[in-house]
Amino acid sequence: MTTETDPLIRPARDTDAEAIWPILRGVIRAGDTYAIDPGLTRDRALDLWMHAPRACYVAERAGEILGTYYLKSNQAGGGAHVCNCGYMTAPRARGQGVARAMCLHSQAEALKLGYKAMQFNLVVATNEGAIGLWRSLGFDTVGRVPRAFDHPEQGLVDALVMYKWLVPGEDG
């Protein structure tokens, strides 16, 4: 069930780049949740986020883009049935259910695209908000990589691998 406060989630268009860039820039430059070079140029970051993956979406409310996510295959060949997603929310929209809505949307889209599972390869262990959200949406921690992320304030911290089987009625 959706309400009028739920964001509209739709495929990103090239014309959305101007609204997506500030979200990407803020998260990437903070350097505390994504293993992306903080000095990445605008064009390279937008290409990496919007064009390299299989699909990119935005979450908007009243025409304002509040968040974005990408969806791509996690591996090729025998692992191509597992997808990977990345989510970013504008600071002003955090705590409003935007990331939850995007994650739920991404799971439905993944199934439509033929994926059977979703895996997050590097969830920074200090990102407690994301970890709590992913767990509440049925993701399990299937691995912990010691000191895999160099956090700008906390130094080397662990990263989690989180996974969810998406096919209803099938055990993963």
pLDDT digits (tens, 9 = 90+) for 37-55: 999 999 999 999 999 999 9
Helices (H) and strands (E) in the chain, counts: 4, 7
pLDDT digits (tens, 9 = 90+) for 17-26: 999 999 999 9
Q: What is the mean pLDDT of residues 85-111?
A: 97
CA distance 164 to 172: 8
In our burial notation (b when 16+ CB lie closer than 10 A, e otherwise), range 49-87 reads bbeebebbbbbbbeeebbbbbbbebbeeeeeeebbbbbb
| DSSP state, residue 63 | T
pLDDT digits (tens, 9 = 90+) for 106-151: 999 999 999 999 999 999 999 999 999 999 999 999 999 999 999 9
Which residues face 156 on adjacent strands?
Answer: 150
Residue 2: band (very low, low, confident or very high) from pLDDT cuts 50, 70, 90: very low
Domain ranges of the chain: 8-165
CATH superfamily of 8-165: Gcn5-related N-acetyltransferase (GNAT) (3.40.630.30)
